Chain A
Amino acid sequence: MLFAGIYGFVTRRNLLAILISVELVLNAVDINFAVFNRYLFPAQLEGFFFTLFVIGISACEAAVAIAIIINIYRNLRNLEVTNLSQLKD
């Protein structure tokens, strides 16, 4: 799942697809935190809270990134990464 996310991050050309790949990566890390917490240190809750905070931060990141993407779309009328250099003009 993590590597599927990395593959998508490298190969997709659409900004929203890249963002979805980032969500995949974050989810894989979340699962790892929770599982290691539960299997190896069941008396403590560090992985649990780290997962909780990662979920919150990724929500925030997704909201801001989508706001930026909508703004870019309003300026450029498409979302291909190769066109982003037009923003300089």
Chain B
Amino acid sequence: MNIIFWILAAVIAVCSILTVTTKRILRAATYLLFVLFATAGIYFLLNYSFLGAVQLTVYAGGIIILYVFSIFLTSTTRDEQKAKLKTGKLAAGLLTALAGAAICIFLILTHSFGATYPVGDEVQMSEIGTALLGTGKYQYLLPFEAIGVLLLAGIIGGILIARKR
């Protein structure tokens, strides 16, 4: 279990750095796919099988396909040329990322969390269903409906924006 976690964490870290540093955008999308797969693996490792399945189907199945198609639709021959980047902006981004990561790693190393191993069994599907569709405390009918309306609005907005006039 521990070994698997470290493998997944290494894959996530390396591939996410490669995602933002590679020059070609299609390779960036592929590295993002690896990151998403490893994330789903971590969810499975935490015994959140439903979350892992959602991650695989929605992200790896849907969003990556969307990205790849839009990359193909919008790729030009001039994409390969290096975009001139101001060194000030590059340094600012690098400084922000490194400083934030340093602070996070410092905090993680100097404080200990209460639990060091995952507890609990697999979350039952019926439990998820009742919590998702109930109206009581710790139940999520209203966000569920809201995200349904949001997805509908997203579909309509996407069609409206991208259609040919």
Contact = CB atoms under 8 A, between A and B. Distances in A.
Interface string B19-42: 110000100110010011001001
A31 B39 contact: yes
A63 B93 contact: no
Interface string B71-107: 1011010110001010001101110111011001000
Interface in A1-37: 1-14, 16-17, 19-21, 23-24, 27, 30-31, 34-35
A60 B58 contact: no
Question: What's the dominant secondary structure at chain B's contact region?
Answer: helix
A59 B79 CA distance: 26
Contacts of B153: 60
Contacts of B132: 49
B157 A56 contact: no
A48 to B, nearest CB: 6
A75 to B, nearest CB: 11
Contact of A14 (B25, B63, B90, B138): B25
Contact of B85 (A13, A63, A73): A13
B84 to A, nearest CB: 8
Interface hub of A1, A9, A31 (most chain B Cβ within 10 A) = A1
Interface residues of B, number: 74
A67 B97 contact: no
Nearest to B76: A78
Interface in A36-67: 38-40, 42-46, 48-49, 51-53, 55-64, 66-67
Interface of B: 12-13, 16-17, 19-20, 25, 28-29, 32, 35-36, 39, 42-43, 46-48, 51, 54-55, 58-59, 62-63, 66-67, 70-71, 73-74, 76, 78-79, 83, 85, 89-90, 92-94, 96-98, 100-101, 104, 113-120, 123, 127-128, 131-132, 138, 140, 143, 147, 150-151, 153-155, 157-159, 161-162
Given A46-B138, A48-B51, A57-B150, 17 more contacts: A1-B13, A3-B100, A6-B96, A7-B96, A13-B83, A16-B25, A16-B67, A45-B131, A45-B138, A49-B132, A52-B54, A53-B143, A60-B151, A63-B155, A67-B157, A69-B74, A70-B70
